[in-house]
Amino acid sequence: MITELSLSELRGGLRRGELTSAEIVSAFRDAYLADAKKEEPLGAYVEFFDDSVALAERADEARRAGEADAPLLGLPIAVKDNILVKGRALTCASRMLRGFTAPYSSTVIDRLLAAGMIPLGRTNMDEFAMGSSCEYSCYGPARNPADRTRTPGGSSGGSAAAVAGGLAPVALGSETGGSVRLPASFCGLYGLKPSYGSLSRYGLVAFGSSLDQIGLLGRSPEDLAVVFAAAAGRDPRDETSAATDFPAARAVLDGAELPARDFRGLKIAVPREFVPEGLEAEVSAVFDRFVRWARSRGAFVEIIDLPILEASVAIYYILAAAEASSNLARYDGVRYGLRAKEAGTLFEMYERTRSEGFGEEVRRRILIGNFVLSSGYYDAYYKKAQAVRALLLREVARVLAEHELILSPTAPTPAFKLGSKVRDPLAMYLSDVYTTFANLALLPSLSLPAGLSREGLPIGVQLTGRRFAEETLLSCAETWRREGGGG
């Protein structure tokens, strides 16, 4: 079936003339419509674009006319509902932004459109990307295709559910502390959080500006490589973006095969803090299997002590909340989005708008952020967290000066039941225990599908590399896909 093919396989079918773009997009549209009729639909999309098939037909016309020089012409992609696509609705899965239409496209979208890709629709997410289960959405939760009673992970849960559920071949998500890698692990996908600066943040709705990155979810490392290569590069509209070169990924975009990395002599660090004795047995078993496989291929895997990692979740939830409280101050009912009705004063309008527009989890993080930035607490919390982040940056850099990769589980558990943690914020936050350090340290990190639990739930393993070493992660993941059972 078309919907079971990877992006790379679909691309090959187009090149050989075995498929048309209209057939591909129609297949995903029909799968979405069929799923929407089920008793428990995946809830992957909040909107499937009505004109996607028409855009695919135009791509086919261009191909027949010999105008198919765009490398990804006619290939579809799902887009998380916090990434702007000009002329399309955007809500960040929040009541606050219902009725808002994007006045411009993000740089990543512009570049993918220039490469010929077709946006299929907007995917579900935790409100303003704040969550680990895709339950904090004004549209209701997304569900895991492996077990619809369970979470697909968050906040990019809709993107992961779309790809894993056969409703899109590849999807854009966003990452602030694990929001691409966690869903990838829970749904059995490859999920890449690029280095901070590899992909422009222009047109990504801000959550934590020193942490945010657009990320990618797909069925193979090659799928991630082609989309990444088409979107990466310096953007003058984002001063944090970097002028980087990814020749191997660009070669894949031009039609070459993604090279598989030889593991012989590869130095890999496993932080002792990330493989505690109490780690869930099934996760531990999958992780141990991956370590044995890496060693059997000649990798040098060393258990190291990196105690600063034990503070990463605490640092993250202080800094991310502080930045969120600042970024979300703009949603006040004045310029765009929801405005509370019948407010008697300006301050009453502010209060009612934000109380009505924001959900419980967003309000919680705004309050935490305001608290850690407030007079009397700034030095004790925010300033100290920044100092510890600087120490984490140094310590992780020291490890990566001696090793090419840091290896860990992606998540402490397989996908958990919907509703099981939504009233326990601390338990929900601890889902990110292995992922936040990469955002804090500005590093690329990739989750790959490494095995299944006894109940058939996917379990991921995480590779984190040096800054701008995305190609190393992708080539290592490709080796696993070919040789280790990852595909």
User: Could you tell me the sign of the dihedral formed by the alpha carbons of 141, 453, 174, 161, in that order?
Assistant: negative
Is residue 155 annotated as part of the catalytic site, yes or no?
yes
Which residue type does 240 have? T
Is residue 179 annotated as part of the catalytic site, yes or no?
yes
Closest CA to 111 of 197, 272, 193, 229: 229
Q: Do the Cβ atoms of 161 and 184 come closer than 8 Å? A: no
Q: What is the CA radius of gyration of the chain?
A: 21
Q: What is the DSSP string of 219-258?
A: SSHHHHHHHHHHH-S--TT-TT------HHHHHHHTTPPP
Q: Do the Cβ atoms of 120 and 404 come closer than 8 Å? A: no
Question: Could you say which of 80, 159, 193, 431 is catalytic?
Answer: 80
Question: Could you say which of 94, 137, 155, 241 is catalytic?
Answer: 155
Listed in sequence order, the residues at least 6 apart from 478 whose beta carbon sits closer than 8 Å to its beta carbon are: 220, 221, 222, 258, 259, 260, 261
Closest CA to 158 of 130, 190, 188, 133: 133
Distance CA 254, CA 277 (A): 46
Q: What is the DSSP string of 298-327?
A: T-EEEEE--GGGGGHHHHHHHHHHHHHHHH
Residue at token pair 């409100």: 127
Question: Could you say which of 105, 132, 179, 185 is catalytic?
Answer: 179
User: Could you tell me the sign of the dihedral formed by the alpha carbons of 383, 387, 407, 176, in that order?
Assistant: positive
Distance CA 295, CA 298 (A): 5
Residue 155 belongs to what H/E stretch?
none
Residue at token pair 């829970």: 186
Residues with a known catalytic role:
80, 155, 179
